[in-house]
A and B are shown apart, each in its own frame.
Chain A
Amino acid sequence: MPEVLDPVDVVCVGVGWTGGIIGKELAEDGKQVVGIERGGERGPEDYLTMHNELRYALRYELMQDLSKGTLTFRNEPNQKALPMRQLGSFLPGKGVGGAGVHWNGQTWRFLPYDFEIRSRTLDRYGPEKIPEDMQLQDWGITYDELRPYYQTFEEMTGISGAAGNLDGNIQNEGNPFEGPREEYPTQPMITSPLLGRFMEASASVGLHPFMAPSANLSEAYTNPDGVARGPCQYCGYCERFGCEWGAKADPTVTVLPSAQETGNFELRTQCDARRLVYDEQEGRVTGVKYVDTVDNTVYIQPAEVVALTAYALWNVKLLLLSDIGEPYDPETGEGVVGKNYCYQNFGGSAAGYFDDEEWNLYMGAGALGAAVDDWNGDNFDHTDLDFIHGGNIAISQTGKRPIANNESPPNVQKEWGSEFKRASVKYHNSTASISAQGAVMPHRTNYLDLDPTYTDEWGDPLLRMTFNWTEQDRKLAEFEGQRCAEIIDAMGPTKMGVGTEVIGEGGNYDIRPYQSTHNTGGAIMGSDSNTSVVNSYLQCWDAENLFVPGASAFPHNSGYNPTGTVGALAYRAADGIKQYFKRPRMLG
């Protein structure tokens, strides 16, 4: 029998960005908060000798150990799903801070268009613009409503950037297409020569380049919680690494110290949550059942409020295992849990190979980049195009790791041998690569449920992912690839390669090559309990004291990295939980 512990006010299931934010906010509000985290503790002191590509980037030091559990995958519902036996396409984190430790720090706000995407598409283009199987939904919240939460997240993390739309006034240095905002807490990152070249070329073809917003601090910064961090050193070890300087915002150097200082936040590591204890009659969760993997004891932690703050995919798995909400059925379109799983489409890309240039590409930072937003969202007219949305086109200088990066121009046929070796060495510091971060729209047969065959270390079913690219994705990749080519061409390369097809063998989504850790949807937000899992406060329609923030709440995925929006929604959820404690009810 599980050991039942003394009740607390709030349990956070998973301690990454969302668990850390909610933990801090509620602990500061005087609530007793417990954070259940299946990994271990870690921090900047662990990364002093981390400049090691093999260990961190390729043997996945900071990522999930699949031997304890993974997911299964298939492209189409009529195929047999098989387990993802090794990491590839995406990299969930392990340990305190989650994937928020090994992220790049690219921190965007979604467009006002994103939150009202269905309404605005209907208004501008009419109903025929939305294919029958594209389950496009508004988010149940507007950009203006989410804006203050974005601001709070950006001030906590100290985001570096230049505003492009300062309360409605368009600024030259920033992104003119963004929603109205405030100044960034810190100035933009340093423009490296490669980024400068991209910006000049983009401007020369009529686009509007700007320095990308970054959670790698451009300057020393003390946040409103009193957390002081130093500036980024551009060491080139950021993506897939932890930051030994604490310059990259991650939960272990921002919200978690603040939470723990209150004395109200208890972090329980090596504790694996297995179920939310659900009382369907009452429409409430009463606590969390978890295994302490050190003493091998099963505990139940009762709580007034549960925040499901695991990685997006595992949020959905825990909801399904706990029988909370109606599982989505792709045949009927009924049900909600597992619906609208989306991803990121990097099919549109271009690379220039320069015989007479050599850049210091070994230097860099995860969010050192420049971007254009002209071909993102509904920033351009889609009337004569057979897709909606678009993607942020960016060049990044993240630190070019020599094992993983061996580009050669298109005229080099083989990926090995003498010719390949010569080309990949010759162009190692002389390649400019850009890509569009393509948005992905929901589709009827792209969803998450439980696998009937494979199990995790506890014998529970694995999550099953059914996902493939659609015509929308293919058309978008083709369009964005051409736009990327125009920019690279303007940079004046000796040779050029262009990508206009979605990534994957046979034009189908492929679980093997790394694409992005931007898994979204499955527990989506909305204003209608028949078509969403949570309301605009991330409060579960079927359990009013359960809040489910994270990228699992995205009804579609936009053309940006998700963390800025994940952070904003976590603050929104924290706000909702505070209101709920004052008067328990469905909010809204």
Chain B
Amino acid sequence: MPEEQPETRFDFTRRSFLGQSGLAGGIVLSGHAADVARGEVQQETQNGDTGVDEDALVQLDIDQARLVQAMAERVYPSDEFGPGAVETGVVYFIDRQLAGAWGKGENWYMEPPFVNQFEDAIPNQGWQSNLTPAETYEFALEWTEEYANNEFGGSFLDLSTDQQEELLTALENDEPNNFRSVKPSEFFTLFRTNVLEGVYCDPTYGGNRNMAGWRMKRFPGSPGALGSYKELIGREGFIRIPPRSVEDDVESTGIETGTGSSESSNSSATHSHGHNHGPRYELESEQDDDAQESDAHEVDENAEGDTDA
């Protein structure tokens, strides 16, 4: 340890830039799509049905979206344990991701030559298709429906729950032989990942509607801009904190740094959610070193619904 404290010449301890604004990026959702994403427009159907609001779609057509929603519901079902892919808005999340930079594969290396990855590549070498994620969905959804018709005699949407699971398992195990360019298992892996992203992402991306995914995992989302758990990290017992999205941080700081590497920027969020900009958490009792705190602290200033299992 240095004997004397050196003179401070560069100060990174205070956030003098809090007053600044207009950094990079912004939140893109607006209008009807934003209302749907925020759960402010109720879908026509709930609880695992495959109703999709066509007006809220950007990239997928309504048939593709219904298929995505039905498949997503099998990957992350709605059940007595909590909401599933439908309630959390996964289809809208996937739709916007496909429409954005990620869907176009903008940060992927997509230079030729491409190999036939069924013969000339090993799985450990990763993605070798010339298809972007958006193109992959375009084709693979069609191939999935084709397979459903061939093997099960109907659209995926019309199959029983067991048959739908059977079909997804077949994809996972590379059983369909009508896929070209990507393997069924590669599409399934991509899809499964996207579904989990949609359930648990920041709600600004259209998924995790009402932060229902976070509530299930008792995850607080953002600790807040310049948020802190320093006083809590050493404590015994689970501390439940109501979830907070990045949009709340944007509003509380007046700073937009954007949420979308995969979105373009054109407007900031205009909705006021009436958020409390006070402390991120408030404990029922102050820390007592020898207190037995095996029960969860519940900090429930604005939680909606009980997510405890």
Contacts and interface: CB of A to CB of B under 8 A. Distances in A.
B205 interface: yes
Interface stretch (B30-38, B54-62, B252-260): B252-260
Interface string A219-255: 0101111111111111111000000111000000100
A261 to B, nearest CB: 7
Interface in B181-239: 192, 195-197, 199-202, 205, 213-214, 216-230, 232-236, 238-239
B260 A55 contact: yes
Contacts of A417: 74-75, 77, 165
A453 B76 contact: no
A304 interface: no
A180 interface: no
A55 B24 CA distance: 14
A402 B219 contact: yes
Interface string A412-430: 0011111001100110110
Contacts of A509: 124
A379 interface: no
A49 B246 contact: yes
Contacts of B261: 55, 59-61
Interface residues of A, number: 99
Contact of B124 (A50, A61, A192, A512): A512
Contact of B205 (A54, A155, A182): A54
A192 to B, nearest CB: 5
A52 B23 contact: no
B108 A228 contact: no
B233 A192 contact: yes
Contact of B229 (A184, A235, A422, A425): A235
A55 B25 CA distance: 12
Contact of A358 (B7, B128, B296): B296
Contacts, number: 273
Contacts of B234: 190-193
A32 to B, nearest CB: 21
Contacts of B9: 225-227, 258, 261
Main secondary structure of the interface of A (DSSP, over half): loop
A528 interface: no
Given A360-B235, A421-B77, A429-B238, A52 B259 contact: yes
Interface string A83-107: 1111110000000000000000000
B10 A511 contact: no
Interface of A: 44-55, 58-61, 65-67, 69-70, 73-75, 79-80, 82-88, 155, 182-185, 190-193, 220, 222-237, 244-246, 253, 257-258, 261, 358-360, 362-364, 368, 400, 402-403, 406, 414-418, 421-422, 425-426, 428-429, 453-455, 504-506, 508-512
Interface of B: 1-2, 5-15, 17-18, 20, 23-24, 74-77, 79, 81-82, 84, 102, 106-111, 113, 115, 120-128, 165, 168-169, 192, 195-197, 199-202, 205, 213-214, 216-230, 232-236, 238-239, 246, 249-250, 253, 255-262, 296, 309
29 contacts: A45-B17, A52-B246, A52-B259, A53-B202, A54-B202, A55-B259, A55-B261, A61-B261, A65-B107, A82-B128, A83-B109, A85-B108, A190-B234, A193-B235, A226-B6, A227-B10, A234-B228, A234-B229, A257-B10, A258-B9, A358-B296, A360-B235, A360-B239, A418-B81, A422-B81, A425-B309, A428-B218, A505-B122, A510-B124
